[in-house]
Amino acid sequence: MLQLPITTPPAPAGASVPMSPADAGAGGPGSLMERLLAHAQNAQDMSVQQLSVDLGQLASGRVSTIDLLRLQADMGAFTVRVQMTVRVADQIGNAIQTLSQRS
């Protein structure tokens, strides 16, 4: 079976680093949510960047089976990251609504 090379784009300059459990309480719940959203956004931005690279290669006119398979894999990863971002936003929205109702 053909093995695809796995390439990961470098992290953007302002990429956040996942937190350890010890860091979770350091800045309070507001900063935790902000960091979680920033991490989800950075992951999505990296996916968009990789898709742009793939589409640029396809636009050059040189299309191979490997290029199409790589594009398909990157599109799948992008879809998962978008779904993850939506899920994070929904969970944070539900948490905010719950806290608002308790006040």
Q: Which of 9-18, 70-79, 84-93 has the lowest mean pLDDT?
A: 9-18
Q: What is the pLDDT of residue 77?
A: 86
Q: What is the pTM of this model?
A: 0.53
pLDDT digits 0-9 by tens, 16-49: 444 444 444 455 666 877 887 788 788 888 888 8
Fold that domain 28-102 belongs to in CATH:
Helix Hairpins (1.10.287)
Ramachandran angles phi, psi of 70, nearest 5°: -65, -40
